Structure 1
């Protein structure tokens, strides 16, 4: 019996997921783990104790207990001084948080070596931000690697075209030519870190993308031409329907349930953005002056390298008496801790989303048919803004990227909210967003995204 069991284990395919350790990167890869687990494949989700706890804590719209083949493995980074890979010069270039990610290379290598003799094939799916730490996998005989991109395909294409210098067709070439240089949207440490990841991906160009052909079909085709290899578009990797069984008990829903359909704008700038005191003040006044109902998630950004589970906040520089005033008027609801964004966007009362335009937020908004008032802060967000507003045409711009150094006034915020929520233009955006949502849901259920996922599973289990 023991030999029979061992042979059965050796015949299996094991999936090893290596996410980057920020919330916007944890979510899609945990949802990918769910999809792979539904095919009865063993899935190992690797992270630190803190990042794994955060991923489970912020899980939305599905129950992890329904997917017993997912196993969380807590990695222990090696001490900085004992790493044979992370030199002092590297640490000086990229800073402490990026260094803490790089120090996972050795424990990841050890884990892969440990499980490699238990399975016929090890399939490593790593975030594009962890390519450097999984590079030892290519030297293992029964291991293959696939890079998962958490950005839009549009953004990935723009970066690829910068590297390959291959021409793009019109009008795509003209749109990409107008995008800001990478150095204007990422700080110098991040640019150095990205370069390290790109250099480590030379050994594999096959990519997985958190998008689908209904959203970015032309860009997917062009990216395959640029990279000369298969690119699987298997997203959006978030639930596209909200289940009553797993709906959160968050306090905001008792307020949202009392509001009219499409009457509330949801305001949130993600887990890596902290607004200045002056900007919070202007935003608060702009929302109030718009006379539009709103739900506002306001808290400090998750601190890199620390315990990312943020509990209820207290004083976040709101105008004096503001909370009491909007509560008395019944016009707004303020949340000072983490909130289930996908479920909020899926609520019938939500008619617009003021967002930093991180790709997860864009995907969730598209899935739920909610148009976006875009306010990009950094990274890929300016490029996503172009995709949302100029290509898909399901959003407006609150503050253009070229004006990023300016304080956005309460009047400009008020006008943006009114445009999105109470104008003919806003109604057209909502209609387009609803149509795109319908197409995306069909794609995930039984269309292109579903077929791409089946194709990928067939490939790795061949």
Structure 2
């Protein structure tokens, strides 16, 4: 008689991370996944194939060994259109990505269900962490006898409060303008958000990529609201790696290893301390041609050292053929005239390393939450140029409330071309004026507080420890 087969004890916990398929969301979820894996958890990062590839190709601040500690799962969805971005669209929101967003929300549930059922059979517990733009992963987790779900919010809580309720008492107390969603989102995207629950928290709790140093009152208010439904809030940000602030290079222990050091970093090493303006408008923004000309004219005339990341918004599949850059002719002449005091990067830039570098003085940003956290955690004042989504609110919050920046393009002028003269004036204010010096000081002070939050014993560190303890108990 054959001996009885030995039973294999189920593994304790599997975490399944389901990001929304846009770069700022892919990135934040990947950072969270890596942080959880570094604490010994079994983490599965699940997204459509091009977006798994995208997240891995663009990761910053982690070495190859850390990335290999994750399991990457593909959520197969039907083909979708991948049109190019329209830089002249009256609304800057990347509506060209809507076919991808619809296909993901409509069809990723079935492959996710199969993955969860497989993991549920081999683990005591399956915890789904999903972007709170989408609710279907929580629905799939609820089908499991051993499943839980937590939402990750990839925008600031101050924006989240005002988006849901423009009359929120804390929003009113700030006295900042609250732009209407119709001015920064498309109708199609707002309908998708509504179908997915409108930034609700369908599962056991909410993870915030923020910290009390930045949004303490808003975080506490949301925690109190969630507790009324028996749900828990964990403020665990910033999720991005916080690199050592150094004039030359980041600390070897945190410097990314998958790619060789970018050539711009060697150039930065040769520049004086706090002398370089860094300009980057994110991955979901395309500046109109006339605006690019005005910005180039300003940089050419003001004699300011700079690094300018000039690229159009991502397509739905960033690995699809993009064709010749529309900026090639202008940039050929511009780079000749600014040679020696500026660099133009038309590909992917090592933003974390640039922001951590001591030669970098300030950050001209679209004010996406991800970029703001990266800039402020490295002590760089923000020159705000909001484009869409949460960015108009973020610009007002950072510049008007935190006092860690200066508005370069006011939201009320978002459909106008900002002339070179006005751009130059803001650059001069940011670098030389008392207002600029005050913003620099505020940004450095915030960096200390933000870094303390994620350090051992800090508020974000404690919330992360509590979250890990809760899902592994």
Give the TM-score taking structure 1 as reference length.
Answer: 0.89
Superposed, 1:80-229 pairs within 5 Å as 95-102=98-105, 103-161=107-165, 168-169=169-170, 172-175=171-174, 178-198=177-197, 201=200, 203-204=202-203, 206-227=205-226, 228=228, 229=231
Paired with 2:125 and 2:303, the residues of 1 have a C-alpha distance of 58
> Is the Cα–Cα contact under 8 Å of residues 54 and 318 in structure 2 kept in the other structure?
no
The offset of 1:141, in angstroms, is: 1.1
Cα shift at 1:332: 0.8
Separation in 2, partners of 1:404, 1:279: 11
User: CA contact under 8 A between 2:148 and 2:204: conserved in structure 1?
Assistant: no
1:287-324 CA-to-partner distances (Å, cap 9, x unmatched) read: 12221111000011111245279899573462662111
Deviation digits for residues 115-139 of structure 1 (CA, Å, limit 9, x no counterpart): 1111011000001123235422212
Shift of 1:230: 2.3
Change (3 A) 1:395 1:308: farther
Asked whether the equivalents of residues 310 and 337 of structure 1 are also in contact (C-alpha less than 8 Å), the reply is no
2:389 to 365, 379, 389: 379
CA offsets, 1:388-412, max 9 Å, x none?
A: 1111110111111111111000011
Maintained 8 Å contact 1:310/1:338: no
Change (3 A) 1:434 1:79: closer
Q: Report SS of the residue matched to 2:352.
A: helix
> Aligned pair in 2 of structure 1 residues 275, 316: CA closer, same or farther (>3 Å)?
farther
Task: Check whether the contact 1:158–1:176 (CA below 8 A) recurs between aligned residues.
Answer: no
Q: CA deviation at 1:27?
A: 1.1
Partner residue, 1:83: none
Distance in 2, Cα, partners of 1:262 & 1:231? 38
Tell me if structure 2 keeps the 8 A contact 1:375–1:399.
yes
Q: Distance in 1 between matches of 2:108 and 2:444?
A: 42
Greater helix percent: which structure? 1
Matched, 1:399 2:409: yes
Q: Which residue of 1 aligns with 2:251?
A: 243
Unaligned runs of 5+ in 2: 81-96, 244-249
1:18–1:125 CA contact under 8 A, matched in 2: yes
2:467 aligns with: 456
Q: Which residue of 1 aligns with 2:54?
A: 54
Q: Which whole-Å CA distance do the structure 1 matches of 2:242 and 2:74 have between them?
A: 29
**1:345-424 matches, cutoff 5 A:** 345-424=355-434
Partner Cα distance (1:112, 1:79) in 2: 23
Question: TM-score scaled to structure 2, two decimals?
Answer: 0.87
Question: Using the alignment, how far apart are the partners of 1:312 and 1:218 within structure 2?
Answer: 48
| CA–CA distance in structure 1, aligned partners of residues 399 and 67 of structure 2 | 37
What is the CA–CA distance in structure 2 between the aligned matches of 1:3 and 1:459, rounded to whole Å?
33
Q: Please list, as runs of the form range in 1=range in 2, the aligned pairs for 1:281-320 lying within 5 A after superposition.
A: 281-307=293-319, 313=325, 315-316=327-328, 318=330
